[in-house]
Amino acid sequence: MSSIVNIQGLTKDYGQNGVVTHALRGVDLTIESGEFTAMAGPSGSGKSTLLNIIGGLDRPTTGRVEVNGQELNRLSSTKLSRLRRDRIGFIFQSYNLIPVLTVLENAEYVLMLQGVSAAQRRERVRDLLKEVGLEGMEDRFPRELSGGQQQRVAITRAIAPEPALVLADEPTANVDSKTAIALLDLMRQLNEEKGVTFFFSTHDPNVMKQARRLVLLRDGRISRDGGMVEGLDTE
């Protein structure tokens, strides 16, 4: 396996009104291709900040972050934008679907940005929607779907361009526990069958159990990497 994410000595400080907050205090992390990794930790431990930096949405204060062989600090905004489009899939806590586009159009949005022909992207997205259990719902709008269904569309949108890495920030936080397990089953199935690398944050111990690797973050540092989730106090 080759590493998709390679982080060394990552720090991130936020300053406001002269008060500096150390969100990340020296994170070292490697994620290999094909991994299915969960990240847990209390609120404010730096989970979202770490995901944002890996996703190229935010810049580190110090340290080296390499994603898919590219050192993010050296990339311009345009190249970062291209990296996000072509190599990274995003799944957000609140789905973030485009309300005026249908299920099919939402799912094919990134493919459209990549310039994939309409026929090709329709074919690919229809197959994926079938796999995630949304067959027959292609023409519905997000408002006509349940939370779990909307997140399935978001997952389809994230994996449709066949990215090297899918980052998910608390993807099950807004759905009930049954739906959360179903979504995790789906992500895991996609990981196993298609080899998609997932790195996601969560608060939910039931969701953590689904992960093959668990990274625990506390006060901006990795306090534990690997092992079982039983007995962990994530709050």
Partner 1 sequence: MIIRLAWRSIWRNRRRTLITASSIGLGLTFAIFFISLSEGMYGQMIDQVVRMQAGYITLEHPDYRDAPAVDLWVAVPSEIRTEIEGWPGVEKTKLLVLGQGIAKSGAGNMATAIMGVEPSVEIQSSPLARNIIKGSYLETHDNPLVVVGCEMAERLNLRVGKKMVIATNDVNGMLVEELCRVKGIFKTGSEEMDAYFIQMPLGFARRLFRMPDESATQMGIILKNPDDQRRVLRKVQQKVSDFPVAVLSWQEVLPELASYIKMDKGSNYVFQGILIFLILFTIFNTILMSVLERKREFAMLLALGTRPGQLRLQIFTESIFLGLIGCSLGLIVGSLAAYLVHVFGIDMSTIMGESINISGFALTSKMYTKISPGIFLGSTTIVFIATMLLSLITMRHATRLSIVDTLR
Please select the residue that binds partner 1; options are 40, 45, 50, 90, rule is CB under 8 A: 90
- Is residue 166 within 8 A of residue 196, CB to CB? The reply is yes
User: Among 3-11, 47-55, 68-76, 194-202, which window interacts with partner 1 (CB under 8 A)?
Assistant: 47-55
For 137-164, letters b (16+ CB in 10 Å) and e give bbeeebeebeebbbbbbbbbbbbbbebb
Instruction: Report phi then psi at 75, rounded to 5.
Output: -90, 140
Note whether 220 binds partner 1 by CB under 8 A.
no
User: Among 25-33, 34-42, 102-110, 212-220, which window interacts with partner 1 (CB under 8 A)?
Assistant: 102-110
User: Among 34-42, 105-113, 130-138, 171-179, which window interacts with partner 1 (CB under 8 A)?
Assistant: 105-113
> Nearest to residue 180, comparing CAs of 188, 189, 171?
171
Nearest distance, CB of residue 79 and partner 1, angstroms: 11
Tokens describing residue 15: 């300053």
Using CB under 8 A as the binding criterion, the count of chain residues that bind partner 1 stands at: 25
Note whether 75 binds partner 1 by CB under 8 A.
no
> Nearest to residue 180, comparing CAs of 148, 219, 218, 227?
148
Task: Return the residues of window 119-178 that contact partner 1 according to CB under 8 A.
Answer: 157
Nearest distance, CB of residue 217 and partner 1, angstroms: 17
The whole-angstrom separation of Cα 19 and Cα 170 is 28
Cα dihedral: 108, 109, 111, 116 (round 10):
90
Q: Which residues of the chain form contacts with partner 1 (CB under 8 A)?
A: 48, 52, 55, 57-58, 78, 81-82, 84-86, 90, 92, 96, 98-101, 105, 108-110, 112-113, 157
